[in-house]
Amino acid sequence: MTLPAISVQNLVKRFGTSTVLEAINLTIPAGQVSCLIGPSGSGKSTLLRCLAFLEEASEGMITVNGEALGFFENSRGERERLPLAQIRRVRSQIGMVFQQFNLWPHMTALGNVAEALKTVHKAPKAEAEERALAQLTKVGLANRAGHYPSQLSGGQQQRVAIARALALQPKIMLFDEPTSALDPELTGEVLNVMRDLATEGMTMVVVSHEIGFAATVAQQISFLDQGRILFAGAPGHVFAKPRHPRLEQFLDTYLDRGASMLV
Amino acid sequence: MMFDPNVILRHMPEIMSGTAVTLALWITGMLLGVILGFIIATLRRYGSPLLDVPLGLIVEVLRGTPFLIQIFLVYYGGPFIGISLDPIPCGLLGLSIYAAAYYSEIFRAGYQAVPHGHFEAAECLGLSRLQIIRRILLPEMALIVLPPSVNLAVILLKESAVLSIITVPELTTTVSAIGSQEYAFLEAIFLLALIYWFIVEAAARLGRAAEARLSTYRFAAP
Amino acid sequence: MTFKLFNLLVQASVWTIGISAISIVIGFILALGLSAALLSARKLYRRPAEFFISFFRGVPLLVQLLLIYNLLPFIGLNVPSIVAAIVGMSLCTAAYQAENLRGGFESVPKGFIEAADMAGLSPRQIFMRIKAPIALRLTFPALVNEAIMILKSSSLVSVVGIVEITRMAQDLASSTYMPIEIFSSAAIIYLAICWIVAMTGKYVERSLPGAVK
Each residue's pLDDT tens digit, C79-88:
888 999 999 9
Distance, CA of A29 to CA of A156 (rounded, Å): 29
- Best C118, C129, C134, C206 member to test A by mutation, with max A CBs in 10 Å, is C118
Asked if A106 and C208 come within 8 Å (Cβ–Cβ), the reply is: yes
Map out the domains of chain B with their CATH numbers.
24-215 (1.10.3720.10)
- Chains near B, with 3+ CB pairs < 8 A? C
Instruction: Give the residue, C213 or B42, on which the prediction is more confident.
Output: B42
Choice among A52-66, B189-203, C68-82 with the minimum mean pLDDT: C68-82
Range of the domain at C110: 3-207
In a domain, C187, yes or no: yes
Taking a contact as any Cβ pair under 8 Å apart, which residues of chain C between 192 and 211 contact chain A?
A: 208-211
Chain C nearest C-alpha distance from A262 (Å) = 35
Write out pLDDT tens, residues B49-107. 888 899 999 999 999 999 999 999 999 988 888 888 889 999 999 999 999 999 999 99
Asked if A96 and C129 come within 8 Å (Cβ–Cβ), the reply is: no
Distance, CA of C40 to CA of A116 (rounded, Å): 27
In a domain, C104, yes or no: yes
Asked if C129 and A102 come within 8 Å (Cβ–Cβ), the reply is: no
Grade residue C25 by pLDDT with cuts at 50, 70 and 90: very high
Give the pLDDT of residue B221: 41
- Best B22, B68, B75, B98 member to test C by mutation, with max C CBs in 10 Å, is B68
CATH of the domain at C167: 1.10.3720.10
**Looking at the partner chain, which of A94, A106, A120 has a beta carbon nearest the beta carbon of C210?**
A106
With both helix axes pointing from N to C terminus, report the angle between C81-106 and C43-58 in degrees, rounded to the nearest 10: 120
Give the pLDDT of residue A209: 85
Q: Which helix (H) or strand (E) holds C166?
A: helix C165-176
In a domain, C134, yes or no: yes
Pair B101, B59: CB distance under 8 Å: yes
Using a CB-CB cut-off of 8 Å, the residues of chain A touching C111 are 98, 100, 102
Write out pLDDT tens, residues C130-158. 999 999 989 999 999 999 999 999 999 99
pLDDT along chain A (263 residues), means of 10: 84 90 91 91 91 90 89 84 87 93 93 93 93 94 92 93 94 93 88 92 92 88 91 86 83 65 52
Using a CB-CB cut-off of 8 Å, the residues of chain C touching A148 are 209-211
**Chain C residue closest in CA terms to A174:** C118
Partnered with residue A34 across adjacent β-strands are A205, A220
In a domain, C114, yes or no: yes
Give the pLDDT of residue B222: 41
Residue B220 pLDDT > 50, yes or no?
Answer: no
Give the pLDDT of residue A79: 85
**A154-185: b (≥16 Cβ within 10 Å) or e:** bbbbbbbbbbbbbbbebbbbbbbbbbeebeee
Instruction: Give the residue, A240 or B43, on which the prediction is more confident.
Output: B43
Partnered with residue A175 across adjacent β-strands are A97, A206
DSSP state of C191: H
Pair A178, A209: CB distance under 8 Å: no
Chain A nearest C-alpha distance from C201 (Å) = 18
User: Residues with Cβ < 8 Å from A227, sequence gap 6 or more?
Assistant: A13, A19, A20, A21, A22, A42, A43
Using a CB-CB cut-off of 8 Å, the residues of chain C touching B72 are 166, 169-170, 173, 179, 183
Tell whether C176 lies on the interface with B, counting CB pairs under 8 A: no
Q: If we measure between CA atoms, which residue out of A203, A154, A180, A166 comes closest to residue A7?
A: A203
In a domain, C212, yes or no: no
At residue B134, the 3 state secondary structure works out as helix
Give the pLDDT of residue B185: 83
In a domain, C79, yes or no: yes
Which 3-state string (H, E, C) describes B9-46?
A: HHCHHHHHHHHHHHHHHHHHHHHHHHHHHHHHHHHHHH
In a domain, C213, yes or no: no
**Mean pLDDT value of segment B98-125:** 87
Query: Residues of chain B whose C-beta is under 8 A from some C-beta in C?
Result: 1, 60-61, 64-70, 72-73, 76-77, 80-81, 158-162, 164-165, 172, 176, 185-186, 189-190, 192-193, 196-197, 200-201
Domains contained in chain C, number: 1
Give the pLDDT of residue C201: 94
Give the pLDDT of residue B101: 95
Asked if C213 and A108 come within 8 Å (Cβ–Cβ), the reply is: no
Distance, CA of B23 to CA of B204 (rounded, Å): 14
**Chain C residue closest in CA terms to A169:** C119
Question: For the whole model, what pTM was predicted?
Answer: 0.84
- Chains near A, with 3+ CB pairs < 8 A? C
Compute chain B's Rg from CA coordinates. 21
Distance, CA of A118 to CA of A93 (rounded, Å): 17
Q: If we measure between CA atoms, which residue out of C34, C30, C207 comes closest to residue C105?
A: C34
Pair C59, B196: CB distance under 8 Å: yes
